[in-house]
A and B are shown apart, each in its own frame.
Chain A
């Protein structure tokens, strides 16, 4: 009985938070389908009179979104791939190996996390200029080759894998990179996935850096297209902005929805227990 009550209370609490999150999201989605007249009404309108699907068409025409989509995909995937590679190698060394200067390296990695882009961009802009990479895909990808965040996150996950497992693997001559690939990464799958999603979203949505380092439309990314809708003096087409937001954010939401079941305990993990 108390168990059932507890569960009910749990549901109620979770749903209350869900409502707080869902209301603005609902508002965003529904606004994308409203006509311009319905956007600003004195009493908020929960349902539009008719679904204005052509808002999406109009928003799509508003900037070179097709090209931006391609660029965002290429850039975000390249960054995530590079970061996974560099971060898992570094995290492996930091979590599983003893060496002189390990603490110093870890502290340095954390330090790299702290400086926000608003203050690093000048120095990095000048570096890119010296390398001759401004206004190219390199400028969008290279500064994000390594991720202090990913290194830190994966190190935490790798630490949690029991020492005994490494000993067992060593007996099978599975050491070093092979151990990383066959044991550490699969065992840390939820964390790897969590990091992948965060990195993907961060660079998919990054606006400031691509705007600063690119001038050519052919290599620019989605948020720049999105910003073309946002205006300072007057915001007139909020419905179009919301429509554009939806198709920009949709791929990330779909990816999350499809992969989130892997956050649930894997079979492999279950098999290894005990």
Chain B
């Protein structure tokens, strides 16, 4: 921070010390509003959850009672938990790359100055804007087995009908497709913003060198987008673990737990079974899992 010292110029020592003190302190001052609010509304609930996870609190035990690690023991022994973990792994493993990949591809395409790009940008963003209640209703309708649009179109091609949401072998795939449909527009937006911020000089130089578009992308754009991609993956990861509204409206985790993901499992235990201590334990496990995955992604990107 040699520059900072320079800029102080010929100010008297005491004032300089005060300025230096302020400089050391001011990052914390800037952080206070955000961190204070996060502490009250995000970190406190987390502590509340961790504490609750060591207690039994349910319909027949309305006052919390300390039970140590029992909730965790029960959770790790539950066959349904393993099923839910597998579902969640599939859901996350597919929605994250698909929605980011599609978002990046479209951002790159729309960044080429295509005619009508502004209309397409708006179109791709509309699913993000749509209230979940409405999106889920339309989805239920389109994927209706007997007279939904999807099977109608398949029928025109001589295929189907497919039980999109009511066959336990099919439902998770449908939910994944809908999840990608609803979120890729957001990643398109993130990449568009990032592409606009790239240093044009470098790209221009490569173009003048005659590098082909594909090579230009891999050798210049993609590395420059690295921080954005890291960000997008972390966000997509977190979003994929929070996929709740849609599932609650369309499949309720079914049929036969085929679409039961971690967050729905929490909801089911906490608010349908009233097993708050147990639900808190699942929440803590989920937190650790998502945090661990995000950390791995971050390590890989910042190595």
Give A residues with C-beta under 8 Å from B. Answer: 6-7, 10-11, 13-14, 17-18, 20-25, 27-28, 40-44, 85-87, 89-90, 92-94, 97-99, 102, 105, 108-116, 118-120, 122-124, 127, 142-149, 151-153, 156-157, 159-160, 167, 170-171, 173, 175-176, 187-188, 190-191, 193-194, 197-198, 201, 205, 207-208, 223, 226-227, 230, 235, 238, 241-242, 245, 248-249, 252-253, 256-257, 260-261, 263-265, 269-270, 273-274
Contacts and interface: CB of A to CB of B under 8 A. Distances in A.
A253 B126 CA distance: 7
Interface in B93-116: 102, 105-106, 109-110, 112, 114
Interface in B20-67: 24, 26-28, 30-31, 33-38, 40-46, 48-49
Interface stretch (B76-84, B131-139, B162-170): B131-139
Given A114-B287, A194-B189, A120 B42 contact: yes
B128 interface: yes
B18 interface: no
Contacts of A160: 194, 197, 227
B199 interface: yes
A127 B31 CA distance: 22
A176 B196 contact: no
A248 B133 CA distance: 11
Contacts, number: 276
Contacts of B132: 205, 207
B17 interface: no
Contact of B46 (A23, A115, A153, A188): A115
B72 to A, nearest CB: 16
A112 B42 contact: yes
Contacts of B142: 24, 27
Interface string B183-201: 0011001101110110111
Nearest first, the 9 A-B pairs at minimum CB distance are A190-B193, A123-B45, A146-B37, A245-B134, A90-B34, A145-B37, A120-B45, A123-B48, A93-B27
7 contacts: A14-B110, A20-B181, A25-B123, A115-B45, A190-B192, A198-B189, A256-B129
A170 B6 CA distance: 10
A59 to B, nearest CB: 12
B217 interface: no
Nearest to A229: B133
B124 interface: yes
Contact of B134 (A114, A193, A197, A226): A226
B96 to A, nearest CB: 15
A145 to B, nearest CB: 4
B270 interface: yes
Which secondary structure dominates where chain B touches chain A?
helix
A145 B38 CA distance: 8
B122 A122 contact: no
A86 B290 contact: no
Most chain A CB inside 10 Å of its own CB: which residue of B27, B43, B181, B234? B27
A114 B290 contact: yes
Contact of B200 (A11, A198, A245, A273): A273
Given A112-B43, A260-B121, A14 B114 contact: yes
A248 B130 CA distance: 9
B294 A114 contact: yes
A274 B244 CA distance: 47
A145 B227 CA distance: 26
B197 A157 contact: yes
